[in-house]
């Protein structure tokens, strides 16, 4: 793709050794495309207290891969996406129809879905093949996957632009939103589907184990400074991009897993954000 070629040439101009490797060029582009999406989506995940929900979605990828293997898929992305979307809608419907508390329902589902995935994948001791999904590998990103992330970034931005206000009102009070003629069912369902889509497609970058912190940490950190939705969103996006770039470069020098290094940096940002204000201003 032309844009990717241009990107590669631009990277060659940088005076750093890491910037000349193709895998680093692709990885950095992927990070720049995905992290703002995670920053934005994270703001509403934290506002709506959906952190556990997205964790279940992330872990469902394991079962998605397992189903893909059973059905003979070479690339498990499709079964992963389908299962995650199915699960997202299912949880959304179940939420209103059960008397058990939300974390009990999610806890049960979480255990079930992870166990099912492990059981299928571990047949004949074959689980080792899939460990790369657990910790992710940004450096293995292909140009084709980068075009996927382009598409995702556009969809998320467009969705946020069109549905953002409705999403905020619905999260404050669904009845209030409905009184303003907002279709709250559409808003809630489309948001969970979008989350499922983004989380599952990005799973190769950061891995199943920590993808959720990728989503939650930037927003959680930004929240501690923010006075309104604008500064909240902006802060989350900046922290997310900054963690992505810094983590990726540090992981190159340290030889560590990039996803985890990014998350560590984001966790550092969160730690700073909870320091009392007087320590920061001194």
Least distance (Å) between residue 222 CB and another protein: 8
Residue 165 to residue 234: CA distance in whole angstroms: 16
Answer for which of 89, 143, 147, 164 binds another protein (CB under 8 A) is 164
Residue 233 to residue 43: CA distance in whole angstroms: 6
**Which DSSP state fits 100?**
S
Residue 267 to residue 218: CA distance in whole angstroms: 8
Residue 83 to residue 182: CA distance in whole angstroms: 28
In sign, the C-alpha dihedral spanning 157, 161, 165, 170 is negative
Q: Which stretch binds another protein (CB under 8 A): 64-72, 81-89, 155-163, 274-282?
A: 155-163
Contact present, 142 and 151 (Cβ < 8 Å): no
Answer for which of 94, 168, 209, 272 binds another protein (CB under 8 A) is 168
Token readout for 9 is: 């040439």
Token readout for 115 is: 């166990």
Closest to another protein by CB, 59 or 223: 223
Which residues in the 233-252 window bind another protein by CB under 8 A? Answer: 233
Site string for another protein, 175-214 (x = CB under 8 A): xx-xxxx---------------------------------
Residue 81 to residue 47: CA distance in whole angstroms: 24
- Tokens 């059973």 appear where? 70
Closest to another protein by CB, 122 or 231: 231
Closest to another protein by CB, 94 or 168: 168
Residue 131 to residue 249: CA distance in whole angstroms: 23
Answer for which of 74, 96, 101, 227 binds another protein (CB under 8 A) is 227
Q: Which stretch binds another protein (CB under 8 A): 55-63, 113-121, 223-231, 253-261?
A: 223-231
Token readout for 207 is: 């891995």
Token readout for 125 is: 């001791």
Closest to another protein by CB, 143 or 174: 174
Least distance (Å) between residue 200 CB and another protein: 24
Extended beta strands in 2-134, E state: none
Least distance (Å) between residue 54 CB and another protein: 17
Contact present, 191 and 215 (Cβ < 8 Å): no
The backbone region for 100, taken as left when phi is positive above 0, alpha when psi lies in -120 to 50, beta otherwise, is: beta
Closest to another protein by CB, 47 or 145: 47
Least distance (Å) between residue 223 CB and another protein: 6
Site string for another protein, 16-55 (x = CB under 8 A): ------------------------x--x---x-x------
Q: Which stretch binds another protein (CB under 8 A): 9-17, 106-114, 220-228, 253-261?
A: 220-228
Residues within the interface to another protein (CB under 8 A): 40, 43, 47, 49, 160-162, 164-165, 168-169, 171-173, 175-176, 178-181, 222-223, 226-233
């Amino acid at each position: 793709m032309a844009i990717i070629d241009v990107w590669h040439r631009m990277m060659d101009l940088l005076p750093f050794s890491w910037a000349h490797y193709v895998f680093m060029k692709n990885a950095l582009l992927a990070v720049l495309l995905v992290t703002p999406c995670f920053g934005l989506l994270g703001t509403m995940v934290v506002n709506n207290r959906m952190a556990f929900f997205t964790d279940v979605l992330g872990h469902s990828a394991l079962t998605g891969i397992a189903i893909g293997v059973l059905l003979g898929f070479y690339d498990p992305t499709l079964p992963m996406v389908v299962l995650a979307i199915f699960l997202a809608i299912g949880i959304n419907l179940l939420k209103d129809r059960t008397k058990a508390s939300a974390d009990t329902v999610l806890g049960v589902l979480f255990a079930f879905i992870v166990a099912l995935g492990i059981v299928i994948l571990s047949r004949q001791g074959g689980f080792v093949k899939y460990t790369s999904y657990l910790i992710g590998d940004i450096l293995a990103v292909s140009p084709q996957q980068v075009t996927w992330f382009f598409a995702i970034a556009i969809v998320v931005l467009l969705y946020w632009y069109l549905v953002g206000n409705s999403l905020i009102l619905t999260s404050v009070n669904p009845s209030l939103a409905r009184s303003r003629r907002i279709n709250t069912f559409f808003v809630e369902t489309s948001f969970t589907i979008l989350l499922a889509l983004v989380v599952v497609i990005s799973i190769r970058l950061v891995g199943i184990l920590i993808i959720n912190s990728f989503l939650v940490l930037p927003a959680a950190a930004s929240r501690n400074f923010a006075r309104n939705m604008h500064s909240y969103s902006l802060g989350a996006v900046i922290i997310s991009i900054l963690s992505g770039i810094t983590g990726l470069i540090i992981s190159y020098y340290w030889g560590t897993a990039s996803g985890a290094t990014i998350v560590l940096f984001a966790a550092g940002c969160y730690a700073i954000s909870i320091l009392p204000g007087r320590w920061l201003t001194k």
